[in-house]
């Protein structure tokens, strides 16, 4: 089932802050990590049930996807 993924303002701001933090050591790795996050979020357009149900919410319509140690919640 396809689903349109929209980023919340707070999530986009968090990703930007994370990229800036990583870029202090390596602009390359910051860019690569942001791309990895974006690729994972875009995959949810086609595979909206990818990932697991968020345990603390228990709602089968809300999923989480892990990218390294970070959670994308949709």
Which pLDDT does position 2 carry in this prediction?
A: 66
Closest CA to 47 of 29, 72, 23: 72
Higher-pLDDT residue of 13 and 44 is: 13
Residue 15 has which token pair? 């990703």
pTM here is 0.78
**Mean of pLDDT values over 57-71:** 90
Q: What number of other Cβ atoms are within 10 A of residue 37's Cβ?
A: 19
Provide the pLDDT confidence category of residue 74 given band limits of 50, 70 and 90. Answer: confident
Q: Judge whether 50 and 43 are in contact, CB under 8 Å.
A: yes
Phi, psi of 28 (to 5 degrees): -60, -50
Each domain of the chain, given as residue ranges in start order, spans 9-73
Closest CA to 72 of 15, 22, 31: 15
């Amino acid at each position: 089932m396809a689903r349109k993924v929209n980023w919340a303002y707070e999530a986009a701001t968090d990703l930007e802050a994370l990229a800036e933090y990583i870029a202090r050591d390596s602009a390359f790795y910051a860019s690569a990590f942001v791309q990895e996050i974006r690729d994972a979020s875009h995959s949810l357009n086609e595979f909206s049930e990818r990932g697991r149900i968020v345990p603390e919410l228990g709602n089968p319509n809300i999923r989480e996807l892990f990218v390294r140690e970070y959670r994308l919640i949709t």
